[in-house]
């Protein structure tokens, strides 16, 4: 098993890379994280990871300086650079520091997998552990196949993949089944997959199956149309009669041709949601019925918005309760429920975000609804989203007067960043308590007054470095730093490289 260290100053990037690695099912022991070079160096010294994935441009200690220290201290880690910059200078430095590979952002899972797999092979050979190349090749194919089914990578050649799998051609009839493994360990999911495989092979079905590494086992069948009913009954009976078998399954319709696989996967995934939603072991996409009545009418959306705007929380809760009773009593499908609540949240967001910026992350709201497969979970998610939006609106109205003071401070800094200024001066001008204005600024802006001044000055310095040929000492003074050595130190801590290096890299002259 290998240990991996992911180093990037952006939390979302680290989370995405970590999620990709976990989905790959590579034999990983630990995945460590660091947001800057200094933190990464501490982890590397203590844990000696086999592989380090590191961004180049980071605050405090940049990626290249970090790699330099790793090599100086003879930490024998394989290093892959992950960067948004396709810069030849970086490539040269990567060679100098014996970097194993270089990946450009945004990172594709298939590319990251191939590079990690190559390094893992090398590590395992060094440890005299033989790897089954056939299994690794199949694992890579299944990752590509899952990417294709989800429409994430348009460059995947599905015909080439199926030529290698030998289970059907572009003229074959296909069907997709998706089993739910959420809440299971990886070992349990694999054991269940083996159980299903044995069952289906005994019936001489032609299929390919794989785990997606998170919460599903996916089956793609290629077969004669007349066998569909038998197949469905076999799966249903074994789900019903076996305690070790997975409890929820969604099955698509059948279609001819490889081009239909993405749609068939979408159908099976929706049928799986319906299976969970209706507490049914197995559900066919063809069984999903569209309800004749709408769960949330447009006039109800407007009424909910009105109650939120007017601060009528009691009436708002009563209306949501009536809506949830309707959801429980009437025979809505998960398709109807998702569509209705997504439309409601979109309506509320569109009609509030301009007046209340930052009211809610709409993508988070949509994902909460899409991932709430049970009636109870859907109610909780929708109530939570609307309550959060309501509370934000009420707090925003209270704090609106404070915003004028913050706006004044921001403008003051932008006009006086080249002078010696501090929060005490500003609070005197506003005739406000120093502690109050300090806490208010941190709350509203998300950083301290000193951090904000540094940000403004450094952005001005960066612009001067690439748009003028002024001496760096003059730029430092123009940005409010009488001590040029101190300016150098602050600049490198903020940008990750020195002013001279920044000018050489980005200069327009």
Model confidence at 490: pLDDT above 90: yes
| Entry field: residues in the chain | 509
The pLDDT of 47-64, averaged and rounded, is 86
Which pLDDT value is given to residue 162?
Answer: 79
The pLDDT of 252-261, averaged and rounded, is 87
Question: Both tokens of residue 5?
Answer: 């260290």
Question: Which CATH code is given to the segment(s) 417-506?
Answer: 1.10.10.60
Q: Which CATH number fits domain 2-131: 3.40.50.2300, 3.20.20.70, 3.90.1150.10, 1.10.260.40?
A: 3.40.50.2300
Q: Which residue has the tokens 């630990």?
A: 30
CA 313 to chain centre: 33
Contacts (Cβ under 8 Å, ≥6 apart) of 330: 291, 293, 295
Q: Mean pLDDT for the chain?
A: 81
Say if CB 472 and CB 500 are below 8 A apart. Answer: yes
Model confidence at 243: pLDDT above 50: no
Model confidence at 385: pLDDT above 90: yes
Say if CB 392 and CB 360 are below 8 A apart. Answer: yes
β-pair partners for 179: 217, 249
Which pLDDT value is given to residue 241?
Answer: 52
CA 328 to chain centre: 32
Q: Which CATH number fits domain 146-287: 1.10.3720.10, 3.30.200.20, 3.90.550.10, 3.30.70.270?
A: 3.30.70.270
Integer angstrom CA distances of residue 47 from 3, 51, 74, 323, 438: 8, 11, 14, 53, 40
Which pLDDT value is given to residue 232?
Answer: 59
Which pLDDT value is given to residue 5?
Answer: 93
Predicted TM-score (pTM) of this structure: 0.48
Cα–Cα distance measured from residue 62 to residue 125, given in angstroms and rounded to the nearest whole number: 32
Q: Over the range 290-308, which residues count as b (16 or more CB within 10 Å of their CB) and which as e?
A: eeeeebbeeebbeebbebb
Scanning 223-295, the segments in alpha helix (DSSP H) are 228-241, 261-277
The pLDDT of 494-498, averaged and rounded, is 90
Model confidence at 509: pLDDT above 50: no
The pLDDT of 383-402, averaged and rounded, is 80
CB atoms within 10 A of CB 220: 25
The pLDDT of 281-310, averaged and rounded, is 84
Model confidence at 264: pLDDT above 90: yes
The pLDDT of 59-84, averaged and rounded, is 85
């Amino acid at each position: 098993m290998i240990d991996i260290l992911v180093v990037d100053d952006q939390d979302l990037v680290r989370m995405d890379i970590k999620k990709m690695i976990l989905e790959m099912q590579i034999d990983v022991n630990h995945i460590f994280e660091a947001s800057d070079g200094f933190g990464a160096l501490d982890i590397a010294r203590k844990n000696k990871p086999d592989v380090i994935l590191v961004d180049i441009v980071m605050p405090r200690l940049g990626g290249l300086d970090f790699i330099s220290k790793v090599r100086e201290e003879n930490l024998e880690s394989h290093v892959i650079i992950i960067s948004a910059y396709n810069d030849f200078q970086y490539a040269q430095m990567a060679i100098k520091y014996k970097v194993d590979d270089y990946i450009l952002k945004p990172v594709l899972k298939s590319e990251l997998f191939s590079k990690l797999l190559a390094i893992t092979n090398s590590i395992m050979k060094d440890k005299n552990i033989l790897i089954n190349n056939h299994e690794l090749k199949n694992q890579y194919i299944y990752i590509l196949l899952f990417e294709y089914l989800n429409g994430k990578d348009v460059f995947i050649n599905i015909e080439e993949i199926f030529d290698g799998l030998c289970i059907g051609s572009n003229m074959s009839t296909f069907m997709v089944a998706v089993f739910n493994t959420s809440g299971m360990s990886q070992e349990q999911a694999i054991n269940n997959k083996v159980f299903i495989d044995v069952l289906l092979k005994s019936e001489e079905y032609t299929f390919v199956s794989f785990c997606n590494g998170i919460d599903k086992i996916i089956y793609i069948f290629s077969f004669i149309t007349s066998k569909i009913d038998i197949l469905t009954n076999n799966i249903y009976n074994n789900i019903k009669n076996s305690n070790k078998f997975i409890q929820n399954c969604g099955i698509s319709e059948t279609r001819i041709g490889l081009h239909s696989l993405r749609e068939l996967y979408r159908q099976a995934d929706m049928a799986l949601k319906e299976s969970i939603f209706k507490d049914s072991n197995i559900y066919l996409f063809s069984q999903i019925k569209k309800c004749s009545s709408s769960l949330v009418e447009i006039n109800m959306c407007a009424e909910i918005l009105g109650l939120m705007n007017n601060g009528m929380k009691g009436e708002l809760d009563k209306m949501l309760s009536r809506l949830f009773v309707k959801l429980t009593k009437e025979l809505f499908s998960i398709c109807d429920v998702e569509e209705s609540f997504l439309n409601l949240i979109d309506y509320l967001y569109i009609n509030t975000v301009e007046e209340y910026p930052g009211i809610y992350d709409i993508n988070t709201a949509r994902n909460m609804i899409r991932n709430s497969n049970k009636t109870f979970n859907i109610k909780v998610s929708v109530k939570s989203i609307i309550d959060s939006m309501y509370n934000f609106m009420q707090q925003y109205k209270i704090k609106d007067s404070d915003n004028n003071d913050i706006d004044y401070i921001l403008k003051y800094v932008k006009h006086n960043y080249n002078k010696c200024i501090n929060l005490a001066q500003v609070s005197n001008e506003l005739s406000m308590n120093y502690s109050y204005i300090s806490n208010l600024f941190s709350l509203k802006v998300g950083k301290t007054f000193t951090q904000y001044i540094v940000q403004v000055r450094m952005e001005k310095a960066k612009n001067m470095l690439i748009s003028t040929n002024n001496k760096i000492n003059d730029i430092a003074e123009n940005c409010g730093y009488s001590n040029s050595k101190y300016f150098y130190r602050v600049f490198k801590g903020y940008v990750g490289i020195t002013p001279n290096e920044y000018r050489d890299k980005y200069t327009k002259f």
